[in-house]
Amino acid sequence: MLLKENNEGNADSASVTDETRTIQGVAMAGLVLNLLLAAVKGVLAVQSGSLAVTASAIDSGTDAVASLVLYGGLRLSVRKTRAFPLGLYKIENILSVLLAFFIFLAGYEIARRVFIAEPGPPDISMSLIFWLLAATGAVYLFGCWALRVSRRTESPTLKAEARHRQTDALSSLVVLVSVALGYGGVQFDIFGISIDQMGAALVLVFVGRAGWELLSDGMRVLLDASIDYDALEEVRDIMKSHPSVVEVKSLVGRSAGRFRFLQGSVVVRTDDLEKAHRISHEIESRIRSRIPRVERVMIHYEPQARDHLRIAVPLADRTGKISVHFGEAPFFAMLFVRMADHGVEKKEIVANPHGEAEKSKGILVAEWLADRKVDWVALKSEMKHKGPGYVFSGAGIRVLQTSANHVDDAINEIFEREKNQEEHTF
């Protein structure tokens, strides 16, 4: 049993570095925005005495502190040290959890003011409405930008920030409506709860929902929950599509920050260590080309334990006569043969699907046989240093150059080769 750890071309590539800088730039912009919003809303809260505006100012102040922690953590998350050779990517998820607790803290302060404090009537002015409208627009636009970048980079921290900004935009809109109603002279209460308190309470609902989403998503990754099902199935399909892979025995994946770590076990149709290593490298390259932000791939591979052989033989006709041609052979015999007694369990005569191809017939037929997971091919002609021969070698398919004229004689020759190989190995 062999284990190959692949980390070539990992997350330190130039494209990932550019993504990291982009994420850090968005985080810095969020910090500046939150500081400005906290300052503006704080002044407006003092001037107006509005509970809803005060709740929004508390939310923005807490966000400013969280953004500062967020930016610092993002700077640390891409570093690797001797103590943390796999990187500090999970700092992004830890920050998401911390951000959730900051949000809950803001929610607590808002709830305390809604249910305990005795607010007086707010002093609403047109300038207050204007500044709240400007703040709402700024938060909304920043949230759209952060969400677009988070989708491109798959950063959980930036995704968390974008979700929170969207929630802030909704809560700011609630505050704006509450203040506008007060400015218009609309005053009423329900069970003693004023419009101003209702607005603050709705902000609390948005804050609580955002905090819970961030907390649950962050904790899933910290507890090493699997990556999403669709991505994992795509990786499994990539592994199974390699012609030398007989079976994918296991596959697990986890996330750390925005990066993915994969570990799989496959059965390959070769006993050769060098070939198995090459197969593993090819699988890794295919995974990296189709799955973004794969930091590490670990592939455990083991040779196939065979009790049957899949044998393909080009035929000149359906009677079993072996064709002197390969790519132009009209038929192929597909045999499923027991190794114990050489008994044929299944025999199928299949028409050559590429016999009429204008060019590269041999390569097309070889790839077709590789897709059918053939173990042996018996041929009249020499394939070494030719296109089909390279396909067979890459797929782990053994080739018998036979002088036999009938498919049954070729099968016997193949099993003689198998017997000699086992004795040589022993």
Query: Which amino acid does the sequence have at 387?
Result: G
Phi, psi (5° rounding) for residue 348?
-135, 130
Is 351 in a helix, a strand, or coil? strand
Is 262 in a helix, a strand, or coil? strand
Task: For domain 308-425, give the CATH number.
Answer: 3.30.420.130
Res 309: pLDDT: 84
Q: Please state, in angstroms and rounded to a whole number, the distance separating the CA atoms of residues 90 and 255.
A: 8
What band does 11 get if pLDDT is binned at 50, 70 and 90? very low
- Helix spans in 186-272 (H): 195-222, 229-241
Residue 1 has pLDDT above 50, yes or no: no
Over residues 343-347, the mean pLDDT reads 85
What band does 8 get if pLDDT is binned at 50, 70 and 90? very low
Beta-bridge mates of residue 376: 311, 398
- CA 188, chain centre distance (Å): 51
Pairing of the two strands 245-256 and 259-268: antiparallel
Q: Please state, in angstroms and rounded to a whole number, the distance separating the CA atoms of residues 49 and 120.
A: 7
Q: Please state, in angstroms and rounded to a whole number, the distance separating the CA atoms of residues 8 and 190.
A: 64
Dihedral of the CA atoms 320, 325, 326, 331 (nearest 10)?
Answer: -40
Contacts by 151-155 with C-beta closer than 8 Å and gap 24+? Answer: 152/19, 153/19, 153/22, 153/23, 153/258, 154/258, 154/292, 154/293, 155/19, 155/23, 155/92, 155/257, 155/258
CA distances (Å), origin 366, targets 25, 331, 360: 51, 14, 10
What band does 364 get if pLDDT is binned at 50, 70 and 90? very high
**In the chain, pLDDT over 70 holds for what percent of residues?**
70
In the chain, CATH 3.30.420.130 covers 308-425
Other residues' Cβ atoms within 10 Å of the Cβ of residue 193 = 14
In the chain, CATH 3.30.70.1350 covers 229-303
Residue 266 has pLDDT above 70, yes or no: yes
Res 395: pLDDT: 79
Report the alpha-carbon angle 366-368-371, nearest 5.
110
Residue 425 has pLDDT above 60, yes or no: no
Closest residue by Cα to residue 345 from 355, 337, 353: 337
Question: Mean pLDDT of all residues in the chain?
Answer: 76
Is 249 in a helix, a strand, or coil? strand
Among 247-251, 263-267, 293-297, the range scoring the smallest mean pLDDT is 293-297
Residues in the chain, overall count: 426
Over residues 59-71, the mean pLDDT reads 72
In the chain, CATH 1.20.1510.10 covers 9-222
Residue 145: both structure tokens together = 């930008």
Question: CATH number of the domain at 9-222, out of 3.40.640.10, 3.40.1190.20, 1.20.1510.10, 1.10.1740.10?
Answer: 1.20.1510.10
Res 358: pLDDT: 81
Closest residue by Cα to residue 121 from 60, 19, 48: 48
Residue 406 has pLDDT above 80, yes or no: yes
Residue 231: both structure tokens together = 């991505």
Residue 237 has pLDDT above 60, yes or no: yes
In which residue are the tokens 């508390």 written? 58
State pLDDT tens for residues 75-84: 766 666 666 6
Res 334: pLDDT: 92
Beta-bridge mates of residue 248: 266
Q: Please state, in angstroms and rounded to a whole number, the distance separating the CA atoms of residues 378 and 322.
A: 9
CA distances (Å), origin 380, targets 322, 377, 415, 422: 8, 10, 17, 24
Pairing of the two strands 376-379 and 308-315: parallel
- CA 353, chain centre distance (Å): 36
| 42 close to 58: Cβ distance less than 8 angstroms | no
What band does 351 get if pLDDT is binned at 50, 70 and 90? very high
Higher-pLDDT residue of 338, 330: 330
State pLDDT tens for residues 15-52: 656 777 777 788 788 888 888 888 888 888 787 777 76
What band does 423 get if pLDDT is binned at 50, 70 and 90? very low
In which residue are the tokens 């609580």 written? 208
Report the alpha-carbon angle 360-361-367, nearest 5.
90
Task: For domain 229-303, give the CATH number.
Answer: 3.30.70.1350
Res 313: pLDDT: 92
| 245 close to 267: Cβ distance less than 8 angstroms | yes
Closest residue by Cα to residue 263 from 248, 281, 250: 250
State pLDDT tens for residues 121-162: 566 677 777 887 888 788 888 888 888 887 777 776 677 677
In which residue are the tokens 């109603």 written? 181
| 326 close to 305: Cβ distance less than 8 angstroms | no
CB neighbour burial string for 83-116, b if at least 16 within 10 angstroms, e if fewer: eeeebbbbbbbbbbbbbbebbbbbbebbbebbee
In which residue are the tokens 């300052």 written? 39
| 184 close to 159: Cβ distance less than 8 angstroms | no
Residue 86 has pLDDT above 70, yes or no: no
What band does 203 get if pLDDT is binned at 50, 70 and 90? low
